Amino acid sequence: MKIIVCIKQVPDTTDIKWTENNTIQREGVESIINPYDIYAIEEALKLKKTLKNVEITVLTMGPLQAESMLKKAIALGCDNAVLISDKKFAGADTYATGKTIASAIKNKLPDYDLIICGQFAIDGDTAQTGPSVANQLNIPQVTYVKELKKCDEECVYAVREIEEGLETVKVEFPALLCVLKGFDEPSRAKINGIIKAQNTNITVYSMEDIGLTPEETGIKGSPTYVSRAFRPEHNRAECEICSDCNTLVQRITEFGGFSNE
Amino acid sequence: MSNIMLYAEVTKENYLHTVVFELANKAQELSKKLNNASVSALLICKTGLSENFKEAFINSGFDYVYIAESNRLTHYSTELYSKVAIDIIREIKPEIILVGATTQGRDIAPRISSSLHTGLTADCIELDINEKGQLAATRPTFGGQLMATILCKTLPQMATVRPKVFKPAPENTVKDTKFIYIKPEIDNIQKKVEFIEFVKGLNTSINDLDSAEIIVAGGKGMKNEAGFELLKNFAQSIGGCIAASRGAVDMGLAPVDIQIGQTGKTVTPKLYIACGISGAIQHIVGMQNSDKIIAINNDANAQIFNHCDCGLVGDVFEVIPELIKIIKNSNGENTSDINIL
């Protein structure tokens, strides 16, 4: 069984700093594997433990520096790594990103059973790229997957966590799954994994390699564009700073706190 | 004539999702800026269910409701629902499509936009029409530290919006709604995803937060489990529910289902008390529509103080016990009742 895990390198968003000119300081911001994608890798590794002949290819679209993140995925136990990288991909929205990843899979990794992605990336938080890839590949998707149950060569049972409860569905391969953070702590890299990662060559594909034109990728291939970016304004009147707890309790009461019910 | 279409989501329990009415209110507003563009709903459901919703549609100002019913559509299915939606959208050609950013909405919307080769802006917190008549969709980005207004070059222009971001219309906006039945063409589709079972959630904390009038939320400043115990006592003393920021959830102090913010829930209580929360925009977008907001933080420069009505600068571990004491004293002999869970 062949599994592709799509991952994304994201800035560690808890650590963002502003420059004096009100722009985001990008230099020196640490990059991490999107936390949800760690669980996507974890689900693939779990399947590898329970089924025979599972081969995991980890795939990302990003700058050449993303190689280090792919090596981390190899260290965790993935078998191969593919980086799709081209300056022409810059500025891609979720439509263009979905198209680019789907083209790479169609052209370079067409022989797959399952694609696993994280449900969201913590930087964009759109949750759109996974379904967009599935749609371009014309395969079914299952989103908000909390847990994988029975799995064999032909299908998998997936438990979805939705607003009202847990829904179990059975999906035939080939299919794409978007996973939430699972129940188990993700695996850590083992020493032989780290050695393997050092000796693994990352395959890099450019736009031409995956059969796309400049019009279909990056900012040109994106239906959406940012017309304005700004720091959020304060939308409340001046905040009243209370000098002591008694005043604060008075405000809590005025604002509807402890209504004796 | 231009047309704004809303995806009328039906919940697992066969209700129209409340987000449909919130979007309807916003769509009326957008319609006025588009020479009174018509507002329509797209309803996909099991045979006969649409009858239950007709009055609600009429009272919410819809001009048209396009209905596709079939017993094969009893459970939401990405494959069937997206096929039906795409067929109808190709026929009606709306210029704007709005979808609730629920698990169902976020599942179907990218499938639709990708098939129609158009753009989709996720989780918008404001929608407007710009001077060129385009949909200007504003959303937090970059971990919520930046707001971006996004436009779309292609039609339809699509956006998702979370529940509770917009308010439903204050009064009924009755219209002469036309109901149009369209036969879904799904007979030849072999589903690859099969529904097996549904287990209703036992964890009610999510629903509690939705209806809570008072929410006491803790952030990284609550530091440890003892801090969250203190928070619970405080919440009990004023009859509130507890919630958490992403920082606190990442530290393992609170479960993810009570997380407020861009990657968590959006809430609109009467009173929101933020304790030890710095106030990153990713948190603010999840609570800024609360009626009143109070903040307690030891950093006088914390962002949270720019987003609240009233605040106190101080150590939460000193301030909160003091508040609990004052509240208990002011309640006199009722003190014992307040301690009851």
Query: What range does the domain containing B268 cover?
Result: 205-338
Question: Contacts of residue A241 in chain B, CB cutoff 8 Å?
Answer: 300, 305, 310-313
Residues of A in contact with B146 (CB under 8 A): 24, 229-232
CA-nearest residue of chain B to A129?
B110
Mean per-residue pLDDT, B187-206: 82
| Least CB–CB distance from B115: residue in A14, A135, A141 | A135
Q: What is the pLDDT of residues A173-221, one digit of tens each?
A: 999 999 998 877 888 898 999 999 999 999 999 999 999 999 999 999 9
The per-residue pLDDT for A29 is 73
pTM of the model: 0.85
Q: What are phi and psi of B233, to 5 degrees?
A: -60, -40
DSSP, res A239: P
B330 class by beta-carbon count within 10 Å (0-12 exposed, 13-18 middle, 19+ buried): middle
Contact in structure between B175 and B38 (CB atoms under 8 Å): no
To which residue do tokens 């995803």 refer?
B193
CB contact under 8 A, B146 and A230: yes
Same domain (yes/no): B239, B312: yes
Residues of B in contact with A11 (CB under 8 A): 142-143
Residue B246 and residue B139 share a domain: no
Residues 6+ away with beta carbon under 8 Å from B267: B164, B209, B210, B212, B215, B243, B260, B286, B287, B290
Asked if the Cβ–Cβ distance from B310 to A223 is below 8 Å, we say: no
- For residue range A50-90, what is the model confidence (pLDDT) as tens digits? 999 999 999 999 999 999 999 999 999 999 999 999 999 99
Task: Tell me whether residue B296 is in a domain.
Answer: yes
Long-range Cβ pairs for the range A11-14 (8 Å, 24+): A11/A123, A11/B142, A11/B143, A13/A122, A13/A123, A13/B142, A13/B143, A13/B144, A13/B145, A13/B282, A14/B143, A14/B247, A14/B250
Residue B168 in any domain: the answer is: yes
What is d(CA A161, CA A180) in angstroms, rounded to the nearest whole number?
8
Please report the residues numbered 295 through 334 in chain B whose beta carbons come closer than 8 angstroms to any beta carbon of chain A: 295-296, 300, 305-313, 319, 322-323, 326-327, 330-331, 334
Q: Are B165 and B287 members of one domain? A: no
The torsion angle over the Cα atoms of residues A73, A118, A219 and B92, rounded to 10 degrees, is: 160
**Residues B89 and B173 both lie in one domain:** yes
| Interface probe with B: pick from A147, A239, A250, most Cβ of B within 10 Å | A239
| A21: confidence class by pLDDT, cuts 50, 70, 90 | low
Mean pLDDT of chain B: 91
B84 with B210, same domain: the answer is no
Compute how many other C-beta atoms are within 10 angstroms of the C-beta atom of residue B211.
9
Domains and CATH numbers, chain A: 2-224 (3.40.50.620)
Instruction: Give yes or no for residue A38 having a pLDDT over 80.
Output: yes
Q: Is residue B200 part of a domain?
A: no
Q: How confident is the model at residue B204 (pLDDT cuts 50, 70, 90)?
A: very low
CATH number, domain containing residue B94 = 3.40.50.620
- In Å, how far from its chain's centre is CA B149? 19
B81 and B37 share a domain?
A: yes
Q: Which residue type occupies A166? A: L
Q: How far is A105 from chain B (nearest CA, A)?
A: 17
Cross-strand bridge partners of residue A24: A18
Count of domains in chain B? Answer: 2
- Do B326 and B265 fall within a single domain? yes
pLDDT at A261 > cutoff 50: no
Query: Is the domain of B96 the same as that of B135?
Result: yes
Question: Best of B9, B294, B325 to disrupt the A interface by mutation (most A CBs within 10 Å)?
Answer: B294
Residues of chain B neighbouring A25 (CB-CB closer than 8 A): none
Cross-strand bridge partners of residue B42: B7, B66
Q: Are residues B167 and B309 in the same domain?
A: no
Per-residue confidence band for B189, with pLDDT thresholds at 50, 70 and 90: very high
pLDDT of residue A238: 80
Are B270 and B166 within one domain?
no
Same domain, B268 and B140: no
Q: How confident is the model at residue A236 (pLDDT cuts 50, 70, 90)?
A: confident
Any chain A CB within 8 A of the CB of B185?
A: no
Interstrand relation of B146-152 and B157-161 (parallel, antiparallel or unpaired):
unpaired
Report yes or no on B188 lying in a domain.
no
- Rounded Cα distance, B149 and A229, in Å: 6
C-alpha A217/C-alpha A206 separation (Å) is 11
- Are residues B271 and A256, on separate chains, in Cβ contact within 8 Å? yes
Share of chain A above pLDDT 90, in %: 71
| Predicted confidence (pLDDT) per residue in A96-143, tens digit | 999 999 999 999 999 999 999 999 988 878 899 999 999 999 999 999
β-strand pairing of B38-45 with A141-151: unpaired
Q: Which of B181, B213, B243 is the last residue of a domain?
A: B181
ipTM for the complex shown = 0.90
| Residue at B199 is within a domain | no
A189 by DSSP, 3-state: which?
A: coil
CATH number at residue B231: 3.40.50.1220
Q: Give kind and range of the element (H or E) at residue B137.
A: strand B135-141
pLDDT at A239: 86
* pLDDT tens per residue across span B1-47: 579 999 999 999 899 999 999 999 999 999 999 999 999 999 999 99
pLDDT at position B84 is 98
- Stretch B271-276: mean pLDDT, rounded? 96
